[in-house]
Amino acid sequence: MYLKSLTVFFVTLLSYSSFLYGQSKAWLDLFSYLKVQHIQITQNKIYAQSENAFFVYYPTSGEIEKISSIQGLTGEEINNFYYDESLQKLWVFHTGGLIEILDAQQKVFRSPELSYNAFIPQQNKIVNQVFEKDDLLYMATGYGVSVYNLAANEFGDTYYIQNSADLLNVNAVLVFQDKIYAATDQGLFEADLNANLIDPAVWLQRDTAAWQDLAIFDGKLLGVRHKDIALISPQSIQNLIHFDIAITGIKTGQFISACFPETVKLIDKNFIIIASFDTVNLPGEQFFEAVDNGNNLLVASTKHGLINYDLTSFTTEFIHPDSPLSNHVFTIDAADHILWMAYGDRNAFNPYPLFRGGLSSYQQNKWINIPYEDFQISDISFVKISPSNPSIVYFSSPKNGLIRIKDNQVDKIFNQNNSPLSMFLNDGVRVFAMDFDTQNNLWVSHVVTPALAKLKPDDTWESVDLSSILYSFDVYHGTSTILADQEGHIYMGTEYFGLLGYNPQTQSKVYLTNGLQTTAYPQIETMDLDKNGVLWVGNREGLRILNQPEELFTRTDLEFKPIKIVYEDAVQLLMEGQNITKIKVDGANNKWIATLGSGVYYFNEDGTQTIYHFTKENSPLPDNDVYDIAIDGTQGLVYFATLNGLTAFKGLATDSAPNLNDVYAFPNPVNLKKHNFVTIRGLIEGVNVKIVDVAGNLVYESTAKGGSMQWDLTAFGRYKIASGVYIALITNEDGSQTQTTKILVIK
């Protein structure tokens, strides 16, 4: 039967994952911890499980510790967990069957046994609840009851309870007075703990109604049967308390905590309700579970993290790490130590079904959140920070127009009433991609005529009619990206019509699809201009580049071309067949490319070398579907947006500095046994960097492409240098600015 045939020593299936995260110090955890689903109270700390991570709260000190993919977890959705105090180990149960164990040394071990089991449907590979007794962990799952030996690190048997081809979903399992009980969707089952529990015939069905939960309180066995809390004895099942709505679950401490979606009832040993806590002052909130620890009621909530309700003073405290509103991150932008993000949806060109998220900003290592209720704009899918004033940021919605945030407040909403942005079939103002030109004009795309609009710094508008190049203009279209180059040309990547170009100086309008034709239509999902003036374009089927895109307005022979690379004596096309969602060029002219399904790639400036390839398997990236990338060149931070949360990588490339006053090298000293390169930051783009030894011998020379550069610790790539002191000599083109910095190299 299913897992029984795979019962082997668990340690033989464990894979140690911590070695994958040697670079974890280079990553930032920017996950949301506001949605807490499960709680466990231990002797001196409280574990709270969010969607794909944990936080640990220490009541005595008030300290909060985060546990996420930065510590080695996969970042995938978590279904349940269990912490064993004696072993000091945390068991993490993921939706889909993967089990992770985090030990006291923060090492993560993984067991893929259940996730690889092909006999159990994917939707049944969930752990609804666990119960521990005598170092055995009984797991109530979507297919039956599995037993795991905590001390020996091995799976035991799996009990399927009924003789049927249909797997029985078990909501809760519990051992009480030498009997094992299972609360299932098809009734309450019990069996003698010493019987052959693999045999479904030994399981007695005590009741045929659906049971949601089980608990032991004051020496009595209790269960939840729809709207009732019942007392279970060997002879009978007796309803103790009846409610008007269904109970989601119960937990026991000094009292019984009966949880409902919008309230918690506290019940004493006489089965009298002595207190309650509800969502009256928490609009839109819902509860997952609750448990008391004597003087306080701890509630797992969807919006406020762990809620601590003082049963004496009747005061409420929200406990969670500083967090954004949600992990459903779709669009981001970053500049000058500021990040903004919104929670739109993948189908950015069609708002339905409506997604009501809100906005979040990360500033000075703190989160600022604007809930949906504060401005009621749904499906925000694009964001752009003003390059001249980072306190101003614009968001667009394919349902509700253009939103301006100023000083972290909603400043203005542009729609059909106060702008040339028009309604689409009387069903919303559908605004898409945006970009600023060098004059600080915001170019905005939308779905109906005139299709392109310019918002000037004085809040006046101009419109551009693109119907002459939007052949089949009656076809619904969307603009995935807009770029304004240094000469003021506007480039628009579209869903159906390839690349559109507009020259404001001559008012000429052109389009280009040559070399871009995909199996369906000439589509552009993302594009960016590099420092050499090359336009990099990505879509659902791969990567293309366009040289000299500014000549689009004067030539008819331009064509998108692939990048050819040689691999194992064969010519291949770079990123061919990859679903590309975002391309961003950093300060070193290298390319970050996000994909659906393959994580993030980081290529050198011409794409011939892969510097990094981050996936959820080899990095803290929580998902291989990455929807957006933002680069803060002032810090060298690269942000990755996924629907499982936001992470950031401390990149190596920064924007050009205004002068050479802040040049430094890191790591410094650099260890030849531990490091492969040293980075020099604080550079002006275009400066010459020579690295010499103490005798004045030149060992390396290069020109900075941005605000930083890397040295691979070799003498012109031929051999590794010796340990000692090296000096970086930095000079701009006319020699008016110079700087030096020493680098100590050790073994």
- The mean pLDDT value for 302-309 works out to 97
Minimum mean pLDDT range among 81-95, 134-148, 277-291, 695-709? 695-709
pLDDT digits (tens, 9 = 90+) for 179-192: 999 999 999 999 99
Nearest alpha-carbon partner for 591 in 572, 575, 579: 575
| CA angle, 623 then 628 then 631, to 5° | 115
How much is the pLDDT for 3? 42
pLDDT digits (tens, 9 = 90+) for 424-458: 888 888 899 999 999 999 999 988 766 899 999 99
pTM listed for this prediction: 0.88
Which pair of structure tokens corresponds to residue 679? 């980075």
Going 277 to 61 to 30 to 53, the CA torsion angle's sign is negative
DSSP 652-702: S--PPPSSSTT-EEESSSEETTT-S-EEEESPPTT-EEEEEETT--EEEEE
How much is the pLDDT for 476? 56
Where exactly are the structural domains of the chain? 1-18+72-159, 497-641, 664-746
How much is the pLDDT for 450? 62
Q: φ and ψ at 386, to 5 degrees?
A: -65, 125
Q: What's the chain's average pLDDT?
A: 90
How much is the pLDDT for 269? 95
With beta carbons less than 8 A apart as the criterion, state whether 354 and 376 touch: no
- Long-range contacts, stretch 6-9, CB < 8 angstroms, 24+ apart: 6/113, 6/117, 6/155, 7/155, 7/156, 7/157, 7/158, 8/154, 8/155, 9/152, 9/153, 9/154
Give the integer Cα–Cα distance in Å for 394 and 384.
Answer: 5
How much is the pLDDT for 225? 96
19 or 70, which is more confident = 70
The model's confidence at residue 348, banded by pLDDT at 50, 70 and 90, is: low
How much is the pLDDT for 465? 87
2 or 327, which is more confident = 327
Q: Is the pLDDT of residue 214 over 50?
A: yes
How much is the pLDDT for 409? 94
How much is the pLDDT for 593? 98
As a whole-number percent, the residues of the chain with pLDDT over 70 amount to: 95
DSSP 38-59: EEEE-SS-EEEE-SS-EEEEET
Minimum mean pLDDT range among 449-453, 600-604, 671-675, 731-735? 449-453
How much is the pLDDT for 79? 95
pLDDT digits (tens, 9 = 90+) for 464-511: 988 888 765 445 568 899 999 999 999 999 888 899 999 999 999 999
CATH number, domain 664-746, options 2.60.40.1220, 2.30.30.140, 2.60.120.280, 2.40.30.170: 2.60.40.1220
- The mean pLDDT value for 710-714 works out to 88
Minimum mean pLDDT range among 207-211, 563-567, 618-622, 635-639? 563-567
Nearest alpha-carbon partner for 223 in 203, 209, 244: 209
How much is the pLDDT for 195? 95
Q: Is the pLDDT of residue 293 over 60?
A: yes
Q: Is the pLDDT of residue 298 over 60?
A: yes
Amino acid residing at 204 = L
How much is the pLDDT for 551? 94
CATH architecture under which domain 497-641 falls: 7 Propeller (2.130)
pLDDT digits (tens, 9 = 90+) for 636-692: 899 999 999 999 998 877 778 888 998 999 889 998 887 878 889 889 988 999 999
pLDDT digits (tens, 9 = 90+) for 376-422: 888 899 999 999 999 999 999 988 899 999 999 999 999 999 999 98
pLDDT digits (tens, 9 = 90+) for 122-136: 999 999 999 999 999
Q: Is the pLDDT of residue 12 over 50?
A: no
DSSP 266-307: EE-TTS-EEEEEESTTSTT--EEEEEE-SSEEEEEESSSSEE
14 or 283, which is more confident = 283
How much is the pLDDT for 497? 84
Please tell us whether the domain made up of 1-18+72-159 is placed in CATH 2.40.50.140: no
Q: Is the pLDDT of residue 349 over 80?
A: no
How much is the pLDDT for 21? 40
Which pair of structure tokens corresponds to residue 659? 């002068």
How much is the pLDDT for 449? 64
How much is the pLDDT for 710? 84
Nearest alpha-carbon partner for 141 in 156, 129, 153: 129
pLDDT digits (tens, 9 = 90+) for 508-554: 999 999 998 777 778 899 999 999 999 999 999 999 999 999 999 99
Which pair of structure tokens corresponds to residue 189? 């089952």
Amino acid residing at 299 = V
The model's confidence at residue 373, banded by pLDDT at 50, 70 and 90, is: confident
How much is the pLDDT for 11? 36
Give the integer Cα–Cα distance in Å for 656 and 666.
Answer: 17
Question: Strand pairing partners for 495?
Answer: none
How much is the pLDDT for 115? 86
How much is the pLDDT for 747? 84
With beta carbons less than 8 A apart as the criterion, state whether 736 and 698 touch: no
